[in-house]
C-alpha cells in the first residue's frame, strides 16, 4: 500500500513517523553536549563527584532549546505542506 500525501493542514501516519525519526536523529546533538559537559566536569583536577554534575550548563540548555525550536519548525513545515 502506497502512502498518500497528507492533505494540507493535516498530518498522516507517515508524517508522524518522519517527524519522530527526525526528532530522534537530531536529539543526538544535545545529548553529545550533555555528555561532553559531564566528561569535562568529571576530569577536572581535584573534582569530587556530586549530583550537581548532572545539571545541564548554559550551552547544553541552549542546545536543547534549539532542538525543540527546530522540531517545532519541522512539524509546522510538514503540517503546512
Domains of the chain by residue range: 13-80
pTM: 0.81
Give the span between the Cα atoms of 12 and 6, in whole angstroms: 6
The rounded distance, in Å, linking the Cα atoms of 53 and 13 is 40
Distance between CA atoms of 14 and 46, rounded to whole angstroms? 51
9-41 confidence digits (pLDDT tens): 889 999 999 999 999 999 999 999 999 999 999
Amino acid at each position: 500500500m502506497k502512502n498518500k500525501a497528507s492533505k494540507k493542514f493535516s498530518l498522516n501516519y507517515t508524517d508522524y513517523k518522519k517527524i519522530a525519526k527526525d526528532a530522534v536523529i537530531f536529539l543526538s546533538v544535545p545529548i553529545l553536549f550533555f555528555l561532553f559537559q559531564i566528561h569535562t566536569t568529571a576530569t577536572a583536577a581535584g573534582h569530587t563527584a556530586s549530583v550537581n554534575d548532572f545539571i545541564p550548563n548554559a550551552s547544553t540548555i541552549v542546545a536543547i532549546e534549539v532542538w525543540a525550536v527546530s522540531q517545532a519548525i519541522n512539524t509546522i513545515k510538514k503540517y503546512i505542506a
